[in-house]
């Protein structure tokens, strides 16, 4: 079955990063979580079966206390090790 | 399925260390097998018989395991638990042949050289530890072939691990003899470099747009190694008037069960080793694998209950070994703690082909993944380098020289978790 992969960029409220991290780790289909320096705080890579599942996942992330904004980048093509 | 989130940089170390834990079990089994074989063969014959049977029986047992791992459950091969890139057994592709021939030749040269060195000595234990110097060979080869100048920390850590591994596995019973040592430095170690550099190249190849898998690489490596080993033993037989090839064939049948067990376990050790080679540089992978000197100690004790193998009694030797082990651990930890990961968000200039652009970015050393995405940016690349300076020298300067890139933004990763 073809899978949909996406990067979700998360901006966090000050002081809420640790909570978001702990909650995001529990979310299903999250492949990778990176804390980054810059205008966004987290880059989360996800792998889901459908666009509907992607929406459910972003919903779950947005509902985590402290998440200010999420931006989703769907991966059209990927080359990786 | 239970998903475990592990700090990303630890995945490579987890895979490489697991590989050496499994390999240490086979060290014990190998001691039992050679002890059993020596009841029927002379010491010189044991080397050749075991060398040949390891690859002939190894090929059969690895084929059986690979077929089992190709069974699909809910659309996923069982082997994907060992290497997520595995999608069933397959015939090698044309683009892989060159690397397989070189890796097979390298493995055969190492094996034959190793057994030749053993056959020259009554007690080889003082010479064998010098195999670990291969880490420094790899560092040099990477510097020349891959234009990959090592950082100071890489040179320091590699040297620490190499010296530690030599101390950790040294024995004071044997003598350091010139010819076996020369064989070790001029034949065995260069052979292993040829083997590991080409296995890494195979792992980094893309097969049908997917990452190459370590299960097929290992199986096909055994196939090519067996061909080269057979040729080498045949040449040796013709020159010296011996009949080692015939004896080896007979030995493969007589000791099938024991060798099959050892090579079955070795299969998983190598599959993980090749997987690690795809994630880290060959020199660093080899350095982490040097942790085998630590795991071999309990195995040696366990095996000594079954067969009479010498356990060091001298407290001085134990002190040397402990110093060696501390050095190995320190070296590996300092490798693990010095790594920089970053995401680069890229916008292409209007009219630029994104497909061509991702191919260009993929060729930059240190780039771990490139994704074409829909949104404000066109491409998200992930890079992994040893220092920020390398990030500038190797990545940013290269990105700036690509005319199709209009804008890019570097975001350093401070901490990372990954599903394993």
Identify whether residues B266 and B394 lie together within a single domain: no
B412 touches chain A (CB under 8 A): yes
If you average pLDDT over residues B400-415, what whole number do you get? 93
> Which of A39, A48, A76 to probe by mutation at the B interface, max B CB count within 10 Å?
A76
End-to-end CA distance of chain B: 11
Residues from chain A that touch B209, judged by Cβ atoms under 8 A, are: 79
Lowest mean pLDDT, pick from B83-87, B92-96, B164-168, B372-376: B164-168
- The number of distinct structural domains making up chain A is 1
A37 touches chain B (CB under 8 A): yes
**Are B92 and B217 within 8 A, CB to CB?**
no
| pLDDT for res A1 | 61
Whether pLDDT at B306 is above 60: yes
Question: Could you read off the pLDDT of B217-275 as tens digits, one per residue?
Answer: 999 999 999 999 999 999 989 998 888 889 899 989 999 999 999 999 999 999 999 99
Residue A25 placed within a domain? yes
A32 touches chain B (CB under 8 A): yes
Last residue of a domain, one of B288, B307, B337: B337
B8 touches chain A (CB under 8 A): yes
Identify whether residues B201 and B95 lie together within a single domain: yes
Residue A42 placed within a domain? yes
Identify whether residues B254 and B323 lie together within a single domain: yes
Residues from chain A that touch B415, judged by Cβ atoms under 8 A, are: 34-35
Q: What is the pTM for the complete model shown?
A: 0.72
Q: Which domain holds residue B405?
A: 340-419
Which residue of B lies nearest to A42 if distances are taken between CA atoms?
B413
> Which of B343, B381, B415 to probe by mutation at the A interface, max A CB count within 10 Å?
B343
Q: Please state whether beta strands B210-211 and B367-374 pair in parallel, antiparallel, or not at all (unpaired).
A: unpaired
| pLDDT for res B2 | 42
Nearest Cα to Cα of residue B125 among B173, B164, B189, B167 = B173
More confident residue, B304 or B126: B304
Among partner residues B354, B359, B411, which is closest to A37 by beta-carbon distance?
B411
Domain containing A68 — which CATH number?
Answer: 3.30.70.920
A27 touches chain B (CB under 8 A): no
Residue A51 placed within a domain? yes
Among partner residues B372, B411, B419, which is closest to A36 by beta-carbon distance?
B411
Task: Give B319: exposed, middle or buried? Use CB within 10 Å, 0-12, 13-18, 19+.
Answer: exposed
Identify whether residues B111 and B169 lie together within a single domain: yes
Predicted confidence band of residue B41 (pLDDT cuts 50, 70, 90): confident
Last residue of a domain, one of B337, B357, B384: B337
- Phi first, then psi: give them for residue B62, nearest 5 degrees: -70, -35
Helices (H), B170-255: 178-183, 189-204, 214-240, 244-254
Q: Which domain holds residue A20?
A: 4-74
Identify whether residues B241 and B371 lie together within a single domain: no
Whole-angstrom CA distances from A58 to A5, A24, A48, B150, B419 are 12, 10, 11, 41, 18
Whether pLDDT at B121 is above 70: no
Identify whether residues B268 and B307 lie together within a single domain: yes
Instruction: Tell me whether residues B416 and A35 touch, CB distance under 8 A.
Output: yes
Instruction: Tell me whether residues B372 and A76 touch, CB distance under 8 A.
Output: yes
Q: Is the dihedral of CA A29, A35, A37, A42 positive or negative?
A: positive
Identify whether residues B97 and B108 lie together within a single domain: yes
A residues 49-78 closer than 8 Å to B (CB): 71-78
């Amino acid at each position: 079955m073809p899978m949909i992969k996406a990067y979700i960029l998360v901006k966090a409220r000050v002081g809420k990063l640790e909570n978001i991290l702990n909650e995001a780790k529990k979310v299903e289909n999250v492949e990778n979580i990176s804390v980054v320096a810059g205008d966004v705080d987290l880059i989360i890579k996800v792998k889901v079966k459908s666009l509907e599942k992607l929406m459910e996942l972003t919903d779950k992330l947005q509902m985590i206390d402290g998440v200010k904004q999420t931006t989703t980048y769907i991966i059209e093509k990927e080359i990786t090790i | 399925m239970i998903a475990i989130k592990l700090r990303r940089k630890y995945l490579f170390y987890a895979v490489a260390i697991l590989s050496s834990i499994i390999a240490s079990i086979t060290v014990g089994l190998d001691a039992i097998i050679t002890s059993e074989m020596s009841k029927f063969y002379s010491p010189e014959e044991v080397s050749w018989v075991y060398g040949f049977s390891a690859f002939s029986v190894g090929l059969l047992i690895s084929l059986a395991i690979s077929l089992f791992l190709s069974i699909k459950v809910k659309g996923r091969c069982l082997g994907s638990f060992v290497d997520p890139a595995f999608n069933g057994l397959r015939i090698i592709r044309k683009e892989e042949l060159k690397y397989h021939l070189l890796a097979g030749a390298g493995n055969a040269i190492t094996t034959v050289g190793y057994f030749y060195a053993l056959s020259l000595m009554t007690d080889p234990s003082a010479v064998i530890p010098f195999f670990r110097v291969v880490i420094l060979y790899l560092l040099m080869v990477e510097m020349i072939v891959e234009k990959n100048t090592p950082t100071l920390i890489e040179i320091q850590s590699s040297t620490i691990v190499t010296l530690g591994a030599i101390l950790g596995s040294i024995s004071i019973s044997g003598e350091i003899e010139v010819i076996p040592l020369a064989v070790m430095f001029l034949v065995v170690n260069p052979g292993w470099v040829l083997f590991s550099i080409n296995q890494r190249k195979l792992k980094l190849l893309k097969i049908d747009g997917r990452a190459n898998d370590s299960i097929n690489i290992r199986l096909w490596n055994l196939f090519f190694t067996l061909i080269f080993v057979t040729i080498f033993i045949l040449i040796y037989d013709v020159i010296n008037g011996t009949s080692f090839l015939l004896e080896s064939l007979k030995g493969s049948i007589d000791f099938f069960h024991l060798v099959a067990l050892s090579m079955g376990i070795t299969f998983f050790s190598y599959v993980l080793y090749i997987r690690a080679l795809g994630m880290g540089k060959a020199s660093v992978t080899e350095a982490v694998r040097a942790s085998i000197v630590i795991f071999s100690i309990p195995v040696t004790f366990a095996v000594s209950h079954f067969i009479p193998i010498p356990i060091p009694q001298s407290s001085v030797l134990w002190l040397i070994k402990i110093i060696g082990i501390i050095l190995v651990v320190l070296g590996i930890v300092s490798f693990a703690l010095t790594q920089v990961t970053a995401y680069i968000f890229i916008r292409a200039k209007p009219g630029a082909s994104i497909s061509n652009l991702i191919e260009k970015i993929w060729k930059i050393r240190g780039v771990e993944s490139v994704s074409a995405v829909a949104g404000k940016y066109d491409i998200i690349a992930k890079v992994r380098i040893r220092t920020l300076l390398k990030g500038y020298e190797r990545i940013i300067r290269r990105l700036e020289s690509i005319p199709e890139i209009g804008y890019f933004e570097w975001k350093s990763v401070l901490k990372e978790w990954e599903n394993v």
